[in-house]
Chain A
């Protein structure tokens, strides 16, 4: 019954967007209730569909859209285990963030615009998730990008916000272009396959060209090299959207928007879209040819390399940031790296299970990252600054925020008790990824161990930076005069709900993996799984927790007990510190060198020179422009206003026509 209304999952927030935009001013709290009700509706429908299709069903609905013949495109809905899990998570987290925003944005005059845009943002993300074809996926993906631009630049009067919005838009655009190129290439390949009679590949009635189903069916027929290019181009899109190295720079800058927007971008919508894209098209990645030496599909290897490197790379920067939201932003980049790493390494080791492993971390990360951001928002709301150096001693003033944030931090650090399997969400989801990287190392040997190195080192750094943040913000002596207070209930209740999930979501691990494992079988795709009951050494199982606790202890020693004087390390003399604080000079290289120097100064300026001086100046102005103007003036004089002249011209015209036709007909 719920599945009949699947389209409403997207449509409700879209309707809320339109209504809030136009009527929001007149409604309570800038019309916040409309998106909240709409997204609650989406959540309920998603939940209903989940219970309908669990454990082995799926929803497919599709209508033709445009085009004809084999190029008939469609709009449709595909809700398989992968999609339903994401749908529930996105609508639920987005719902909590919207409720929280009623309190957080209460002083902002532009509330209707805010709630309208976040509603559209959520709608676009939901549409990404339930698209049954890559074209609709891409369009929704672009709408997500547009909304992120609008929301990051929500306070557009601040130059830094406007700049950050632009950066986010432009950097993700690089990924989008790659993604689009991948779609075009896929389209060309599919059309070729269908047109080649030797393949006997047909699209059944009711199915369409760019549907995921058709794509997966065609995998064996696509040229293997082409398939690698296509998947890598798709991955390019994912790199842009999910803030992976080297397109990660926009994500920390995107903190310029309201904190609730950051929470939305980092937890529920937008950045997870990239991971979702790779998970969605996983069979294609899996089918790419393998390098003989490793036996790992090429594209998966690339995904693992980028993901693993990003996980570590971003974590190092998280160590030194002083802006509370920036720390969390780098944490997001790093965790997204884990998710990519999971798809790559676990994909090579256990095949289709990798999607479950990655998605499980995605969902649990969504809970604790949303919680972290909302806690940060609560803190910022209270103390009025983003700088953790100016906070401190907030624990007694904001008990709920402090406790829930501690829970989130524990989850992010992956603290839990191995062997009896009790722990936070992150304990279950992240440790599994680290273990799979170990198995990957065992499988490939040699340099394959590097992924395990990335993962375990990043885990240590993660634990250090997140507890550094917590200790600096909530313990010690207050470092500012401001009178801080706990946030209102409308903000703390979502915190507590999310905290429950951050604590207990991990226990659904077995069920979750089992449910998602069958995802691609439902679509008729066989993915060979090498199921070898891996016997991991005890130390490998313990190590993630050990480094997590170690990180906690290091931060405890440095930032709580102050056993080590950090002033020597934190100085502009220390080249390593400088490197990290300047974010590996990424803004300099990305914005100044590539953006300003290369693109603007060289390419754009020379283009402008050609356009203005040569084309406009020489061609348009002097030759075409003047001539046309002069001719216009001359002909205007023909229009004498004397009616006799008009009549003569008419007759003259008849005569001329006669001559012309006579000439053509050869004079009869």
Chain B
């Protein structure tokens, strides 16, 4: 590989990395007052990067750095997801962290975590994957605890960090085992090895390695039983950071799993799909059932996020191109819906705090009473996101679920396998159950009387929410290009 390679495909990552350093240096040079501009700068940078990714489009596979990073449709789709999520989060942060004197660090960290996620999306080597994972994780550990004076934010960050480190350790252990078996860290090389020597993949060592990887990725995906940190962290972190965590960094686990696990699953001929079906079902059922009894909306969103991870994990149950495409579609949809929903919670927080500076339990359900009158755009946002999360058309959530459930049904019929059908039935029942807790919030917003005057919703929040609303409904109304994109990405895996 010659040195004069064309870096155009990596320009989005390079742009964001440079911008992160520029922002840190600017933070040293400019006054605290003028730091508010950094948010706009970051948003502009992310937007530019997003335009770049879209401009590159569904490119042919291009590899960099001795095949450790690749740019292909799969990475492009997930970069799109990560960039949209951080764009929404950054736009909302312009308001959330207004006049905070540490804004330079905040935006630099967000940019770094975004770069980390993008590296994971592109990673074609276990080392690159791990580095990307850690870059994103380290940045988000700090972001979760960014409200230094808020004990629950600190607690959230600490728990996230401890469980995150444990998971990283497990994942690294799994990687080292794989290297031990295959003597390569290159992912296609590993797959190649397991294909030619399936017995090695099914050996105790191989299975153990895979389980460690599942645990590591599962931590990010918040799959049960690796989800314990998620509700506490999502609840305690600043809402904008929760949005980034739930909508963005969670998808990092999925893209890593798509790259590594799907291929491993193909290589291991034994029926490991069943294990994933159990994981997926437990995850979605657990998430939905516990969400029912939550009164804190952020916790409810956290559990709903766990449930959604369960739905997306259905992609691993049959691993057909269609199911993977469904998983990608739901991941994309979930990024918009959940990202938007956490931002909308931030507006509620803003509203409650402007009523009463010392308010506790800001995201309690009671504070949502009459939101439709007090903050109509935010309430509309919630309305759209909740219905989309429940999978009601026309929304991104519906398209994703439709694809996933349909792909499993097709597989169930072609294999005439009754347990696969059962999986679909349970997933649909779960969807029905989830409507209960979403509809309850909608009832609070639109039926119950408001507790105060109408507030002026800050522009930054409104912009962020509207982006997510338009995306959520847009994908639902005109899914064709997104379906093509997801199918393209799924084909990369060659399952």
Q: Which residues of A contact B (CB under 8 A)?
A: 628-629, 631-633, 635-636, 639, 641, 643, 645-647, 649-654, 656-658, 660-662, 664-665, 668
Q: Is the CB of A658 within 8 A of B162?
A: no
A-B residue pairs in contact (CB < 8 Å), sample of 9: A629-B293, A632-B292, A639-B231, A643-B158, A650-B167, A650-B170, A654-B215, A658-B207, A661-B207
Residue B405 at the chain A interface, CB threshold 8 Å: no
State which of B32-40, B43-51, B222-230, B387-395 sits at the interface with chain A. B222-230
Q: Determine whether the beta carbon of B219 is less than 8 Å from that of A650.
A: yes
Complex Cα gap A650–B230 (Å): 12
Q: Mark B161-172, 1 if CB is under 8 A from A, else 0.
A: 011001100100
Instruction: Indicate if B290 sits at the interface (CB-CB under 8 A).
Output: yes
A646/B202 contact (C-beta < 8 A), A654-B170, A654-B212, A656-B225 known? no
**Docked CA distance A653–B208 (Å):** 13
- Expressed in whole angstroms, the minimum distance between the Cβ of A482 and any Cβ of chain B is 44
- Which residues of A have CB within 8 Å of B272? 661, 664
B274 within 8 A of A: yes
Q: Which of A639, A643, A664 contacts B163 (CB 8 A)?
A: A643
Q: Which residues of B contact A661 (CB under 8 A)?
A: 207, 210-211, 272, 275
| Secondary structure call for the A interface | helix
- Of the candidates B212, B271, B433, which one forms a contact with A628 in the assembled complex, judged by CB atoms under 8 Å apart? B433
Query: In the complex the two chains form, what is the Cα distance from A664 to B158 in whole Å?
Result: 37
Contact check, A639 vs B228: say whether CB atoms are below 8 A apart: yes
- For residue B14, which residues in chain A have a CB less than 8 angstroms away from its CB? none
Interface centre among A639, A650, A658 (most CB of B within 10 A): A650
Bound state CA distance, A469 and B232, in angstroms? 78
Q: Are A664 and B225 in contact (CB under 8 A)?
A: no
Tell me whether B417 is interfacial, beta carbon within 8 Å. Answer: no
A650 and B270 contacting across the interface, CB-CB below 8 Å: no
- B278's partner among A652, A660, A662 (CB-CB below 8 A) is A660
What residue of chain A has the Cβ atom nearest to residue B291's Cβ? A632
The distance in angstroms between the C-alpha atoms of A639 and B228, with both chains bound, is: 7
Cα separation A647 to B215 with both chains bound (whole Å) = 12
B163 touches A647 (CB 8 A): yes
Interface contact A647-B212, CB-CB below 8 Å? no
Expressed in whole angstroms, the minimum distance between the Cβ of B317 and any Cβ of chain A is 14
Q: Which of B225, B270, B271 has the most CB of A within 10 A?
A: B225
Is the pair A647, B278 in contact by a Cβ cutoff of 8 Å?
no
Contact of A649 with B225 in the complex, beta carbons under 8 Å: yes
B443 at the interface (CB under 8 A from A): no
**Interchain nearest-CB distance for A614 vs B (Å):** 18
Which residues of B lie under 8 Å from residue A635 when comparing CB positions? 286, 289-290
Mark out the residues of chain B between 243 and 290 whose CB falls within 8 Å of any chain A CB in the assembled complex. Answer: 270-272, 274-275, 278-279, 286, 289-290
Select which of B203, B211, B279 is within 8 A of A658 by beta carbon.
B211
Given contacts A636-B290, A664-B271, contact A650 B215 (CB under 8 A): yes
Residue B101 interfacial (CB < 8 Å): no
What 15 new A-B contacts, CB under 8 Å, besides A662-B207, A664-B272? Answer: A631-B289, A632-B290, A632-B293, A636-B293, A639-B231, A646-B159, A646-B163, A647-B166, A650-B167, A650-B170, A650-B225, A652-B225, A657-B215, A661-B211, A664-B275
Q: Mark B232-248, 1 if CB is under 8 A from A, else 0.
A: 10000000000000000
B residues within 8 Å of A by Cβ? 158-159, 162-163, 166-167, 170, 202-204, 207-208, 210-212, 214-215, 218-219, 224-226, 228-229, 231-232, 270-272, 274-275, 278-279, 286, 289-293, 433
Minimum C-beta distance from B127 to chain A (A): 23
Bound complex: CA of A636 vs CA of B300, how far in Å?
12
Contact B293 A649 (CB under 8 A): no
B399 CB to nearest chain A CB (Å):
15
Give the residues in chain A near B203, CB-CB below 8 Å. Answer: 668
How long is the Cα–Cα vector from A636 to B225 in the complex, in angstroms?
14
Q: Are A657 and B275 in contact (CB under 8 A)?
A: yes
* Interfacial chain B residues near A632, Cβ < 8 Å: 289-293
B229 touches A646 (CB 8 A): yes
Q: How far is the CA of A645 from the CA of B225 in the complex (A)?
A: 12
Residue from A633, A652, A657 in contact with B211 in the complex, judged by beta carbons closer than 8 Å: A657
Q: Name B212's closest neighbour in chain A (CB-CB).
A: A654
Are B292 and A628 touching (Cβ within 8 A)?
A: yes
Q: Which residues of A contact B289 (CB under 8 A)?
A: 628, 631-632, 635
Q: Which residue of A lies closest to B205 (CB)?
A: A668
Residue in B210, B224, B226, B292 whose CB lies within 8 Å of A629: B292
Report the Cα distance A243→B96, complex, angstroms: 60
State how many angstroms separate the Cβ of B477 from the closest Cβ of chain A.
12
Q: Is the CB of B228 within 8 A of A646?
A: yes
B270 touching A664, Cβ below 8 Å:
yes
A646 nearest in chain B by CB position: B228
- Distance (Å) between the CB of B176 and the closest chain A CB? 16
Contacting residues, chain A, for B228 (C-beta < 8 A): 639, 645-646, 649-650
B226: which of A633, A653, A664 is its contact (CB, 8 Å)?
A653
- A660 to B211 Cα, complex, angstroms: 11
Specify which chain B residues have a CB less than 8 angstroms from the CB of A665 in the assembled complex: 202, 207, 270
Q: Which residues of A have CB within 8 Å of B229?
A: 646
Contact A650 to B290, CB < 8 A, known contacts A643-B163, A657-B275, A658-B208 = no
B429 to chain A, nearest CB (A): 9
| B274 / chain A contacts, CB cutoff of 8 Å | 664
Please list the 3 inter-chain residue pairs (A to B) with the smallest Cβ-Cβ separation, ordered nearest first. Answer: A653-B225, A646-B228, A632-B293
Closest Cβ–Cβ distance, residue A224 to chain B (whole Å)? 37
Q: How far is the CB of B244 from chain A (nearest CB, A)?
A: 21
Q: How far is the CA of A636 from the CA of B229 in the complex (A)?
A: 13
Complex: how many Å from CA A487 to CA B210?
Answer: 86
CB-nearest residue of chain B relative to A632? B293
Q: Which residues of A contact B166 (CB under 8 A)?
A: 647, 650-651
Q: Nearest Cβ in chain B — how far from A499, in angstroms?
A: 47
User: Which residues of the partner chain A approach B207 to less than 8 Å between Cβ atoms?
Assistant: 658, 661-662, 665, 668
Chain A residues with Cβ under 8 A from B159's Cβ?
A: 643, 646
B223 and chain A: residue at smallest CB distance: A653
Q: Are A653 and B232 neighbours in the complex by a CB distance under 8 Å? A: no
Bound: A645/B228 CA distance, A: 9
**A654–B211 CB distance below 8 A:** yes
Whole-angstrom distance between the Cβ of A166 and the nearest chain B Cβ: 23
Whole-angstrom distance between the alpha carbons of A632 and B212 in the complex? 29
Minimal beta-carbon separation of A606 from chain B (angstroms): 24
With both beta carbons as reference points, the residue of chain A lying nearest to B162 in the complex is identified as A643
In angstroms, Cα B227 to Cα A649, docked, is 9
Residues of A within 8 A of B292 (CB): 628-629, 632
Q: Which residues in A have their C-beta under 8 angstroms from that of B167?
A: 650
Report B-chain residues with C-beta under 8 Å of the C-beta of A643. 158-159, 162-163
Report the bound CA distance from A639 to B271 in whole Å.
Answer: 32
Asked whether B208 lies within 8 Å of A650 as measured between CB atoms, the reply is no
Question: Of all chain A residues, which has the CB nearest B293?
Answer: A632
Residues of chain A contacted by B215 (CB below 8 angstroms): 650, 653-654, 657
CA gap between A660 and B273 in the complex, in Å? 11
Nearest CB of chain B from residue A638's CB, rounded to whole Å:
8
- Chain B nearest Cβ from A75, distance in angstroms: 15
Please indicate the chain B residues that have their CB under 8 angstroms from the CB of A645 in the complex. 228
Q: Complex Cα distance A643/B161, Å?
A: 10
Across the interface, which residues of A come within 8 angstroms of B202, CB to CB?
Answer: 665, 668
The interface centre, meaning the residue of B226, B279, B293 with most chain A CB atoms within 10 A of its CB, is: B293
Whole-angstrom CA separation of A661 from B226 in the bound complex: 17
Residues of chain A within 8 A of B232, CB atoms compared: 639, 641
Across-interface contacts of B224 in A (CB, < 8 A): 653
Residues of A within 8 A of B163 (CB): 643, 646-647, 650
| Closest residue on chain A to residue B214 by CB atoms | A657
Q: Nearest Cβ distance between residue A631 and chain B, in whole angstroms?
A: 5
Neighbouring B residues of A641 by C-beta, 8 Å: 232
Q: Counting chain A CB atoms within 10 Å of each CB, which of B159, B215, B231, B289 scores highest?
A: B289
A221, B169: Cα distance in complex, Å: 71
* Chain B residues near A657 (CB-CB < 8 A): 211, 214-215, 275, 279
Measured CB to CB, the nearest residue on chain B to A645 is B228
> CA of A657 to CA of B277 in the docked complex: distance in angstroms?
12
In angstroms, Cα B134 to Cα A173, docked, is 60
Q: Tell me, rounded to whole Å, the shortest Cβ–Cβ distance linking A651 to chain B.
A: 8
